[in-house]
Amino acid sequence: MHDGSEVTIAFAGAPDAEVLTQLQIDFGDEFDEPEPPFDILLPRFRRFLADPAGFALIASSNGSAIGYALIALRPAVYNEGGHVATLDELYVRPERRSEGIGAVLLARAVAESRRRGAGEMHINVDSGDTDARRFYERHGFRNSLPGIDEPVLWYFAEWDDD
């Protein structure tokens, strides 16, 4: 690590909800994609951390959180493992990038997902985010199916809480 400090990666638990909430807000601010306010996002993180269908990892150095990964798991019938993992978020604070922290978070996320029965992992990346695309491609992820030259498209719909 660049400053000689040791980085630890640990599973997040209920006490980490506030730290994860702040990291998520910082992530959104950095990329000019504002997140909901802290008091709205915090209960969502508490709910996520309490659900066995997902897990979070926190990277820390000198007692401060410097990155995290959020992974959701769902059942699937089309792969041997029986589950699909989705890497919902992976973030490392800007001043700690290029130290391999993101790579370690990703490797731990993949290993734990496989341990929990996931046969594959999905990651959604904005097409213009070339740094993220390069990062994931460097770690074996691709945006097309084997033998098919067209990119995989991701569709979504949002519903109001009303």
Q: Amino acid letter at 141? A: F
Q: Is residue 1 situated within a structural domain?
A: no
Q: Is residue 103 situated within a structural domain?
A: yes
DSSP string, 24-47: HHHHHHHTT-PPPPHHHHHHHHHH
Q: Is residue 2 situated within a structural domain?
A: no
Tell me the pTM: 0.89
Q: Does residue 28 carry a pLDDT above 80?
A: yes
Of the listed ranges 51-55, 71-75, 144-148, the least confidently predicted one is 144-148
Q: What is the pLDDT, as a whole number, of residue 13?
A: 95
Q: What is the pLDDT, as a whole number, of residue 143?
A: 87
Give the Å distances, CA to CA, from 10 to 38, 92, 128, 145: 23, 14, 31, 32
Q: Does residue 161 carry a pLDDT above 80?
A: no
DSSP string, 39-84: HHHHHHHHHHHH-TTEEEEEEEETTEEEEEEEEEEEE-SSSTTSEE
Q: Is residue 146 situated within a structural domain?
A: no
**How many distinct structural domains can be found in the chain?**
1
Q: Confidence class of residue 37 from pLDDT cuts 50, 70 and 90?
A: very high
Q: Is residue 134 situated within a structural domain?
A: yes
Q: Is residue 162 situated within a structural domain?
A: no
Q: Is residue 87 situated within a structural domain?
A: yes
Which CATH number does the domain housing residue 114 bear?
A: 3.40.630.30
Of all residues in the chain, what percent carry a pLDDT higher than 70?
96
Domain span holding position 24: 7-138
- Each residue of 59-77: pLDDT tens digit? 999 999 999 999 999 999 9
Q: Is residue 152 situated within a structural domain?
A: no
Q: Confidence class of residue 147 from pLDDT cuts 50, 70 and 90?
A: confident
Q: What is the pLDDT, as a whole number, of residue 96?
A: 95
